[in-house]
Amino acid sequence: MHPHQSFPVSASRVCDDDRVRYLHLVAAARATAVHPHDEQQIADIVRVTVDDEVDTRTFEAIVTDLTAAVRR
């Protein structure tokens, strides 16, 4: 029997621009549908949407952008 080997998956995967735009649009649609009350709820929506596909800076930029858009 062969031993089970697991290889770590990098949390900071490189994500191309088209994928980031797509994830941003999906997060925006979800946030618009939910009508979140605060930035934490928006961050939770973005976190579930991007699922470790973007780096921290990109995540924070999406949250900031959606917070401004949802509160308009």
pLDDT tens readout for residues 2-55: 555 544 444 444 568 999 999 999 999 999 999 999 999 999 999 999 998 999
* Number of structural domains found in the chain: 1
Asked whether residue 4 is assigned to any structural domain, the reply reads no
Q: What is the pLDDT of residues 31-44, one digit of tens each?
A: 999 999 999 999 99
Position 54 scores a pLDDT of 93
The more confident residue out of 1 and 38 is: 38
Q: Is residue 11 part of a domain?
A: no
Q: Report the predicted TM-score, pTM, of the whole model to 2 decimal places.
A: 0.74
Q: Distance between CA atoms of 43 and 50, rounded to whole angstroms?
A: 10
Domain that holds residue 21: 17-70
Q: Could you tell me if residue 24 is inside a domain?
A: yes
Residue 66 lies in a domain: yes
* Residue 7, domain member (yes or no): no
- Those residues with Cβ within 8 angstroms of residue 27's Cβ, 6 or more apart along the chain or in another chain: 45, 46, 49, 50, 62, 66
